[in-house]
Amino acid sequence: MAKKTVATLHDVGSRNMVKVIKMVKTPETGAYSFQEEMVPVEKVNEYVKK
């Protein structure tokens, strides 16, 4: 039987956070990787533009 993953972001401030997944190209090999981060809703556009 598989285990169920449970989110631990149940505090009051986490309701204003979103998970952003950004694809980043490695300069050495040229391969792509995915970078995941929890970002406040107001800062999403700033994070994506970096």
The pLDDT of residue 50: 76
pTM of the predicted model, to two decimals? Answer: 0.54
Q: Is residue 4 part of a domain?
A: no
Give the separation between CA 38 and CA 16, rounded to whole angstroms: 10
Give the separation between CA 35 and CA 21, rounded to whole angstroms: 6
The boundaries of the domain holding residue 29 are 16-45
The pLDDT of residue 33: 94
The pLDDT of residue 5: 58
The pLDDT of residue 10: 55
**pLDDT tens-place values along the chain, 50 residues long:** 566 655 555 555 557 888 999 999 999 999 999 999 998 989 888 888 87
The pLDDT of residue 7: 56
Q: Is residue 50 part of a domain?
A: no
Beta bridge partners of 6: none
Q: Is residue 9 part of a domain?
A: no
